[in-house]
Chain A
């Protein structure tokens, strides 16, 4: 088993939390893991990505070679497209459709969506809207994680445990809404993939 994952978003959108959840679950499953993060200057509202590699064998490189990633998990639609050179031809793109607009020349939204629809394998969902419906607007990243679960080959119970661990200090309510967010994303993706 080997999964090479590119996580993408804008500084401050919580991609490290997604990485941490998958990381906890992978370690619990006895897998090897390497995860490179972005710290420093680009966290100030810039584009950020993380390479997350999990495998039942030793992992050599901290970086995923171009054209080899199994999936791109993105909390922002334009950022999902930025890393297409990393994605393998059979790879999946799981992305939020809610744009994060902090630059004056953000592309036309319709044109952006048509680029995403062109992708062979994709799951696109408005995670912000779904998180809002759950009355937990800060859980959009966990909705996206949920939408990626059909592709991760990791037991959902282990991901639930990871969420309990990560949000333990924030209290039971936060844990519960994030678990709901995880399942909302998962259900969406399950429907999409079957269709």
Chain B
């Protein structure tokens, strides 16, 4: 048997390659990055000419994937949960247009916020779009669901949401491969107005989506991924979804279940199974990774009077990632633990790497800000967000990709002058350019630092769409050329850099300072690869 040891992310990628994928679109984001990276590294994918380079952001990725589907081929688009916010407009509307070639949207949630600013649950977006959602419990299901997801997508001409969480994305296990399927030949949609969402057409398309709901219900009822296991003790029925099912089974080491268990890995909820569980059991315990979505749904279609325990009543904690112990306690089993952590142990938060160019950039900025007052530096998502922590404590905001420039502009509008934005090169092309145009059009008194380390560093050093283009973009958007400066963030240039920063911060208009030095990690990686190629 052709068994591979794969991360959940890699299982999805291999599944897509084997299921006849023609193109994958994504912007890097933990914990989804490794899906696209796997396709990029795959010799098979290269031989099959599968398109896989990075997109500028999740919205462009989603739209390009939809375009590939329009042209009849199978496409996948991958993002982290907050990336789906960026792609929300095309995502929601793609359920109305429907698809032509199979289309799978992968959204990787991050409960407990290991590397994210929130723990939003993408299943709500799937429900909002009224499309089928798949939620694998393990790496094998992640692999199998890609094949299945493309089938469902092509059968009903709708996009399918594949939702995973950090733990599955970054956990490895053996995966059996299926037979390989050829890519689709290109073909236009039968109705060339299918994708034209003018109101008159959109109403018809929406009706088709609504009519399909009963088909999605039927698919869920019949799905091999939704399974009912009977149990003797019917005082409690347990409904466990996705990876939560594994934590449940960890508490049944011999695999024998005391209570009836309904495993849910496909939505909409399988009504026949849920009704059986509700009828036969006195109480239902819901164990789900993420927000209490199933709990809400249960109340919706089974009415009140049903006793449901879960995150709402505190049986399961309202926030954070699950684990086998949390699940054991929610079932009334005994908790286990080892010795406590000795008090001598201190936390070791992530920090900017030794030699990181951002360190010199924020230290120069820190020398200028006190001339005004603290609290005027807006930033967003990237390694540089770590400059919020000691010993730097430079930035005062991190909300979403690109919000540094726009929030600085809004604060300046409110009279906080000068306001400063700190953004990275990849984040700038992701979502910073439009905000810069707003600032230019309003002649806002803001200074924008575009920290150019020539990579998308936080997610592991992916190619940045901005490399070699930043000054041209800024000039093109309308920043005056004399207010665009490239500086070299090195200790030995501290004084001259500080002087440039002082002058530009004092300037009452839009100025851009680009500290440019390669990420120390990608630089080290290049050296390693060089010595490796020598050794071979």
Contacts and interface: CB of A to CB of B under 8 A. Distances in A.
Interface residues of A, number: 59
Interface residues of B, number: 56
B532 interface: yes
Interface string A60-82: 11111111110000000011011
Interface stretch (A104-112, A149-157, A176-184): A104-112
B318 to A, nearest CB: 20
A43 B400 CA distance: 21
Interface string A103-146: 11111100110010000000000000000000000000000000
A115 B342 CA distance: 8
B173 A34 contact: yes
A37 B460 CA distance: 14
B338 A105 contact: no
Interface stretch (B153-161, B276-284, B343-351): B343-351
A111 B343 CA distance: 11
Interface in A29-57: 32-47, 51
Contacts of A174: 535
Contact of B170 (A27, A36, A107): A36
Given A23-B172, A86-B338, A169-B535, A107 B346 contact: yes
Contacts of A104: 391
A11 interface: yes
A81 B340 contact: no
Contact of B336 (A67, A84, A103): A67
Contacts of B383: 44
B200 interface: no
Interface in B382-424: 383, 386, 391
Given A36-B171, A37-B171, A39-B170, A66 B346 contact: no
Interface string B315-352: 00000000111001000000111111110111111111
Interface string A1-16: 0000000001100000
A170 interface: yes
Q: Which of A41, A82, A91, A102 has the most CB of B within 10 A?
A: A41
A35 B6 CA distance: 10
A122 to B, nearest CB: 12
B328 A40 contact: no
Contact of B168 (A46, A47, A62, A81): A62
A63 B247 contact: yes
A68 to B, nearest CB: 6
Contact of B337 (A36, A67, A82, A171): A67
Contacts of A171: 535-536
Binding site of B, secondary structure by majority: helix, strand, loop or mixed?
A: loop
Interface in B141-186: 167-168, 170-174
Nearest to A86: B338
A85 B345 CA distance: 13
A88 interface: yes
A2 to B, nearest CB: 10
B475 interface: no
Given A45-B353, A65-B324, A67-B336, A40 B346 contact: no
Nearest to A42: B350
Contact of A42 (B114, B171, B249): B114
A163 interface: no
B30 interface: yes
Residue with the greatest number of chain A CB neighbours at <10 A, chosen from B247, B324, B345, B391: B345
B192 to A, nearest CB: 43
B115 interface: yes
A88 B336 CA distance: 9
A107 B255 CA distance: 44
A159 interface: no
B338 A81 contact: no
Given A10-B348, A67-B337, A169 B536 contact: yes
Given A41-B115, A65-B250, A107-B345, 17 more contacts: A41-B30, A41-B114, A43-B460, A44-B350, A45-B352, A59-B173, A60-B252, A62-B171, A62-B243, A62-B246, A66-B335, A84-B341, A85-B341, A88-B338, A103-B351, A111-B344, A115-B344
23 contacts: A33-B174, A34-B171, A35-B171, A35-B172, A37-B171, A37-B172, A39-B33, A39-B460, A40-B114, A40-B459, A43-B350, A43-B460, A44-B351, A44-B386, A44-B458, A62-B246, A63-B167, A65-B323, A65-B336, A81-B344, A84-B341, A102-B348, A170-B532
